[in-house]
Amino acid sequence: MKREKKKNFRELLLQGNEAIVEGALRAGCRFFAGYPITPATEISEQLSTRLPKIGGTFIQMEDEIGSIAAVIGASLAGAKSMTATSGPGFSLMQENLGFAIMAEVPCVIVNAMRGGPSTGLPTSPSQSDVMQARWGTHGDHPIIALCPSTVRECYDITIKAFNLSEKFRNPVIILVDEVVAHMREKITFYDDEEIDIFNRVKPSMPPEWYIPYEDTPSGIPPMANFGEGYRYHVTGLTHDIRGFPTSRPDEIDPFIRRLFRKISQHFSEIQFGEFFETDDADISIIAYGCVARSAKRAAIDARARGVKVGVLKLNTLWPFMRTAVEKVLNTSKIVIVPEMNMGQISREVKRVNKGPTKIFTINKVDGTIITPEEILARIKEVG
Amino acid sequence: MAEVTKLIHKYLRHDKKFPHVWCPGCGIGIMLGALIRAIDKCGFTKDEIVLVSGIGCTGRLPVYVDFNTLHTTHGRALAFATGVKLANPKLKVIVVMGDGDAVAIGGNHFIHAARRNIDLTAIILNNSIYGMTGGQYSPTTPYGMKTTTSSFFHIEQAFNISELAVTAGAPFVGRGTVYHARLLDSLMEKAFLKKGFAVVEVISHCHTQFGKLNKMGTAVEMMEWQRDHAVTVEKAAQMKEEELKDKFRIGILIDKELPVYLDEYEKIRTGSSGSGDRRP
């Protein structure tokens, strides 16, 4: 009799986009609406076959505006929901992204970043939507944006994105660049992996006591799904604690401040990244996405040549990881920020730099990745 | 208690700050009355109704009534409603829009919702103008009329919303006016009970903007205009094309059976349910 060796793990060769699909399903995503766009289409294709098998729903909408609208609607009806797009589609989603922030509807938006502006470079990587993720929708608002740099991180960060959106009742954007979205890497899933899944907090009081937008110590009111007996009003208009439109200054101000506070008083739960040999580094590189991989390689190679280089990899782009960045600004003489844009995160690094640390950038906008050699050359140049 | 008062107490929100935003004499109130009477007659519970709207005078309607209410962005109500319905098919999802909301900024969502045939009811109040922003021309402003953005005369042709819905594939399309209130009640009732995408176009008046700019008189006079220009579908069938030139048809314009989206999707779900999902 043949004995089968029972494995307690599975190894798969997955694309970043595929790992996002796995992460979404693991997190409990049951609704996806999207519109075809390179380089995010694999996410739609896979979810169109996976979701119906587990009682979920996939729909291809008529455009990205409709996609995010359907995602918000589905979330209000109780389903963990997601959409995936790239630059042009992300631009179209901005208005309804603001709606989700205003009405505090959890949802996840994947933006596989390609070169822009406009139609730009559909199959080439870029990191140029970082500021759009922060300020793309009109009005003053808080946002959460996460950025993976490996296939495994695509999986973990997608789960985290769902958890954060459910917890903070705010949309969470995953900014993945085309390199990571399309790159294949081995990913290992262990059977006994402990993964935390957070589901939105529902009201525990009877419907007549429920005040849908009432402030709480955490700043996050419990959320009732449509059809569960808690009939309330959801609007993109500035509203009072009952959800009804208001133009009273004494109601507007605490509401907007609460939206910010619910994120700002929980930075430690939202912000994460990796310090790679930064403690003794003379030169630190602050990088994210595919560039963080090149930065790590460059740091290892530089150390082999006797130059103390470290890397701070940012996985949370928004809210900006000020504390982590300040830490390397305090310990390094030089900070280099390589980015595949004209300088979006480097502006933030410069903004928080209050000391004598010199900040240099590498800005590449030709649709190709920043290589370890290019970072090494910059280290040599400024070091 | 009079019948009308009973329904007011049953369905209007008691904790909402009134008065409402609509001008005295507006047709939206008549449409809201018909909507509530039809919902009550169909026997839906308040918890199972989701009332979705976009932006504009009509977009303000859901806030006053005691259902699950969703006041979305301009033109996108049907897309939001699509998500609500697909995520929880047990909900009865009703969408109210104005003409600008439904067929200008939301025109693409409207034709695709009609084509897709998801079980939603779309109620469109057509008053031929953007009222809330002060009387600009809309896609249903007739040729030659005056608005604040066509102060000489309007040079574009108008959309016929109901015919657009029929052409786009909606299995149920009805048209009424706020003058013919009883017809409106029955159209809405039929639309709510229809399985699939159902459209009710409600011809109304904006005496504050459209009526004033085009010297059409008071709300009452504009409703008399509706009475004089509406012809029932049955009567129109007996009339010559020439007689129908400045008239519009009211009643049920189409009522046919088509495969409904969620029934079809369920086939996909059950057809593939055997394999399960074993991935992490």
> Same domain for A282 and A163?
no
- Compute the average pLDDT of residues A287-312: 98
Instruction: Say how far apart CA B251 and CA B83 lie, in whole Å.
Output: 30
Query: Given CB atoms, is A233 within the 8 Å cutoff of chain B?
Result: yes
Tell if the CB–CB gap between B76 and A96 is shorter than 8 Å.
yes
Is some CB atom of chain B closer than 8 A to the CB atom of A241? Answer: no
Residue A279 burial (CB count, 10 A) = 12
Interchain CB contact of B278 with A (< 8 Å): no
In tens, the pLDDT along B83-129 reads 999 999 999 999 999 999 999 999 999 999 999 999 999 999 999 99
Question: Is A265 a member of any domain?
Answer: no
* A47 has a chain B CB within 8 A of its CB: no
pLDDT digits (tens, 9 = 90+) for A325-380: 999 999 999 999 999 999 999 999 999 999 999 999 999 999 999 999 999 999 99
Please report whether residue A326 resides in a domain.
Answer: yes
Give yes or no: residues A171 and A277 share one domain.
Answer: no
Q: Which of A155, A170, A190 is the last residue of a domain?
A: A190
- Percentage, residues of chain B above pLDDT 90: 92
Q: Per the structure block, which two tokens stand in for A3? A: 């004995």
* Residue A139 contacts B, CB cutoff 8 Å: no
Does residue A230 sit within a domain?
A: no
What single-letter amino acid sits at A94? Q
What does the mean pLDDT of chain A come to?
97
Whether residue B279 is contained in a domain is answered as: no
Q: What percent of chain B has pLDDT over 70?
A: 96
Candidates A53, A155, A158, A242: best to mutate against B (most CBs of B within 10 A) is A53
Q: Which domain holds residue A97?
A: 9-190
Which of A112, A129, A122 is CA-nearest to residue A21? Answer: A112
CB contact under 8 A, A57 and B88: no
pLDDT tens figures, A94-106: 999 999 999 999 9
pTM recorded for the entire structure: 0.96
Would you call B242 an interface residue with chain A, using a CB distance cutoff of 8 Å? no
Q: What is the pLDDT of residues A28-59, one digit of tens each?
A: 999 999 999 999 999 999 999 999 999 999 99
List of E strands, A220-350: 233-235, 273-276, 283-287, 309-314, 316-318, 334-339
Using a CB–CB cutoff of 8 Å, tell me whether A77 touches chain B: yes
pLDDT at residue B280, rounded to an integer:
47
Q: Does residue B280 sit within a domain? A: no
Can you give the pLDDT at residue A1?
53
B66 touches chain A (CB under 8 A): yes
pLDDT at position B273, please? Answer: 47
Q: How far is CA A257 from CA A172, A251, A263, A280, in A?
A: 19, 10, 10, 40
The pLDDT of B33-44, averaged and rounded, is 97
Q: What is the pLDDT of residues B61-88, one digit of tens each?
A: 999 999 999 999 999 999 999 999 999 9
Residues of chain A contacting residue B278, judged by C-beta atoms under 8 Å apart: none
Average pLDDT score, chain B: 95
Provide the residue range defining the domain that includes B41: 2-273
Judge whether residue B4 has pLDDT over 90: no
What is the reported pLDDT for B15? 84
Question: Which residue from B47, B108, B268 is facing A227, i.e. has the nearest CB?
Answer: B47
Given a contact cutoff of 8 angstroms between Cβ atoms, the answer to whether B260 and B196 are in contact is yes
Query: Do A226 and B91 make contact, defined as CB atoms within 8 angstroms?
Result: yes
- The count of structural domains within chain A is 2
| pLDDT for position A152 | 97
Helices (H), B124-218: 161-168, 181-193, 212-213
CATH code of residue A176: 3.40.50.970
3-state secondary structure of A187: strand
- Arithmetic mean of pLDDT, A216-232: 97
| Domain CATH for B99 | 3.40.50.970
Last residue of a domain, one of A139, A165, A190: A190
A273-283: average pLDDT:
98
Structural domains in chain B (count)? 1
A226 with B71: Cβ contact below 8 A = no
Q: Examine the pLDDT at B18 and tell me if it is beyond 90.
A: no
- A179 and A293 both lie in a single domain: no
Residue A98 sits at the vertex; the CA angle it makes with A92 and A102, to the nearest 5 degrees, is 160
Sort out which chain A residues have CB atoms less than 8 A from B52's CB and list them.
73
Look at residue A55 and tell me if it is in a domain: yes
Q: Is there a domain that residue A377 lies in?
A: yes
Residue A132 lies in a domain: yes
Q: Among the three residues A149, A167, A190, which one is the final residue of a domain in this structure? A: A190
What is the pLDDT, as a whole number, of residue B3?
74
CA distances from A340 to A128, A321, A366, A374, B53 (A): 7, 19, 8, 12, 41
pLDDT, tens digit, 9 for 90 and up, residues A107-148:
999 999 999 999 999 999 999 999 999 999 999 999 999 999
Task: Kindly indicate the confidence band of residue A191, based on its pLDDT and cuts at 50, 70 and 90.
Answer: confident
Measuring CA to CA, which residue among B197, B190, B159 is closest to residue B176?
B190
Residue B275 pLDDT exceeds 70: no
Distance, in Å, from the CA atom of B119 to the CA atom of B92, rounded to the nearest integer, reads: 8
Lowest-confidence region among B4-13, B54-63, B154-163? B4-13
Task: Take residue B257 and report the two structure tokens written for it.
Answer: 């059976």
CA distance B200 to chain A (A): 22
Q: Strand pairing partners for A284?
A: A310, A335
Name the pLDDT band for A4 (thresholds 50, 70, 90): low
Say yes or no for a CB contact (<8 Å) between B280 and A30: no
Residue A248 has pLDDT above 80, yes or no: yes
Q: What is the domain-level CATH number for residue A277?
A: 3.40.50.920
Rounded mean pLDDT, B249-263: 97
Nearest residue to A180 (alpha-carbon basis) of A140, A125, A237? A125
In which region does residue B135 sit, left (phi positive, over 0), alpha (psi from -120 to 50) or beta (all else)? left
| Best CA proximity match to A169, nearest among A220, A210, A94, A216 | A220
Is the pLDDT at B274 greater than 50, yes or no?
no
**Residue B278: its pLDDT value, please?**
47
How many whole angstroms separate alpha carbon A127 and alpha carbon A178?
9
Question: What pLDDT is stored for residue B224 in this prediction?
Answer: 98
Task: Assign B271 a pLDDT band (cuts: 50, 70, 90).
Answer: confident
Contacts of B117 (CB under 8 A, 6+ apart): B169, B170, B171, B196, B197, B258, B259, B260, B261
